[in-house]
Amino acid sequence: MDAAAPKIAVLPDGVRTWLGEAVRSGGGQVVPVSAAEALVWASPDSADGLADVLADHGDHLRWVQLPWAGIEPFVPVLDDARLWTCGKGVYAEPVAELALSLTLAGLRGVGTYARSRSWREHGAVGTNLQGARVVVVGGGAITGSFARMVAPFEVELVVVRRSVDPFPGALRTVPLDALDDELPEAAVALVAAALTPETEGLFDARRLALMADDAWLVNVARGRHVVTDDLVAALRAGDLGGAALDVTDPEPLPDGHPLWTLPNCIVTPHVGNTPEMAVPLLAARVTENVRRWAAGETLLGPVDVAAGY
């Protein structure tokens, strides 16, 4: 065993054991946490377990790799005593692909047609994505992938994010407090942002009312970006064209919930990134970050501790 190889623990035991091989592929040694300098945390929801590990061994753990891009459960555990990374950007391609699929399905009436039981049950419905105004909330890797995928449709892409630096492929980039000004002209509002106190409940009754009555809301981020009861009311009233949701609040969406049966709503069960997609992508990220850690290079997917994502 190479004594110079970084010593990295993979916990909890028995969870996503393939991450151990990812560590070794990056040149690291998988060791007990008592002997580790870094930790790959394998459980996406067990913040309490991670807090216990840090309480017992945090004095010598200098880097923690979290498993998913969204780190809301771990925000109370974050600190400035070590480097934190997550799966930020790892799943951008598959999630953006689903975002485009849901956008097209909504605009082209796929949900309506899929629920039909007769060829002539519904009249022709659907509008074009080609040349449409698309407002994306969030300026991360998912938005970057989506911007590239949607470019052939020659959309007018507006990106809403904290920084107003130009975003590649966007007509313009505006701050979050300008979202209200952008929504009335949007054919699609796509949510691809991190969940923070600033973005929780972002699409409530007031903002939904700003959208055109044929516009679609697409959410591939977190369910709590949208106030569910307000969305149900807007969909029932026909105040917007529809909603296409890969995430909901609550989640899982209970059987019998109105969103399942509303004719202008499409729900997919948080499958923007399936396990089959996630395993090779996360393994590759861990391998690369272990290699970079050993070489003293900048790690991928750094967590902004102050911002909470």
Q: Is 270 a catalytic residue?
A: yes
- Segment 275-294 shows an average pLDDT of 95
Model confidence band, residue 4 (pLDDT cutoffs 50, 70, 90): confident
- Asked whether the predicted pLDDT for residue 3 surpasses 70, the reply is no
pLDDT at 45: 80
Model confidence band, residue 255 (pLDDT cutoffs 50, 70, 90): very high
pLDDT at 124: 80
Average pLDDT, the chain: 95
- Segment 76-105 shows an average pLDDT of 96
Q: 34 — phi, psi (to 5°)?
A: -65, -25
- Segment 261-288 shows an average pLDDT of 95
**Which of 270, 288, 291, 292 is an active site residue?**
270
- Segment 184-194 shows an average pLDDT of 98
pLDDT at 46: 81
**Which of 37, 185, 251, 288 is an active site residue?**
251
Give percent above pLDDT 70 in the chain: 98
7-26: per-residue pLDDT in tens?
Answer: 999 999 999 999 999 999 99
- Segment 243-253 shows an average pLDDT of 98
- The CATH architecture assigned to 92-267 reads 3-Layer(aba) Sandwich (3.40)
- Asked whether the predicted pLDDT for residue 246 surpasses 60, the reply is yes
- Asked whether the predicted pLDDT for residue 120 surpasses 70, the reply is yes
Q: What is the CATH number of domain 7-90+274-295?
A: 3.40.50.720
**Which of 16, 207, 222, 224 is an active site residue?**
222
Structural domain spans, the chain:
7-90+274-295, 92-267
The set of long-range contacts for 11-19, using a CB threshold of 8 Å and a minimum separation of 24, is 11/39, 11/40, 11/41, 11/42, 11/43, 11/49, 11/53, 12/42, 12/43, 12/46, 12/49, 15/42, 15/43, 16/42, 16/43, 16/67, 18/279, 18/283, 19/282, 19/283, 19/286
- Segment 257-261 shows an average pLDDT of 97
148-162: per-residue pLDDT in tens?
Answer: 999 999 999 999 999
pLDDT at 2: 66
- Asked whether the predicted pLDDT for residue 122 surpasses 70, the reply is no
**Are 105 and 111 contacting, i.e. CB atoms less than 8 angstroms apart?**
yes
The shares of helix, strand and coil residues in the chain, as percent rounded to the nearest 5, are 40, 15, 45
Interhelix angle for 275-295 vs 18-25, to 10°?
Answer: 40
Q: Do domains 7-90+274-295 and 92-267 have the same CATH topology?
A: yes
- Asked whether the predicted pLDDT for residue 269 surpasses 70, the reply is yes
Nearest to 300, CA basis, from 287, 36, 250: 287
- Segment 215-235 shows an average pLDDT of 98
58-76: per-residue pLDDT in tens?
Answer: 999 999 999 988 899 999 9
- Segment 240-257 shows an average pLDDT of 98
Q: Is 222 a catalytic residue?
A: yes
- Asked whether the predicted pLDDT for residue 230 surpasses 80, the reply is yes
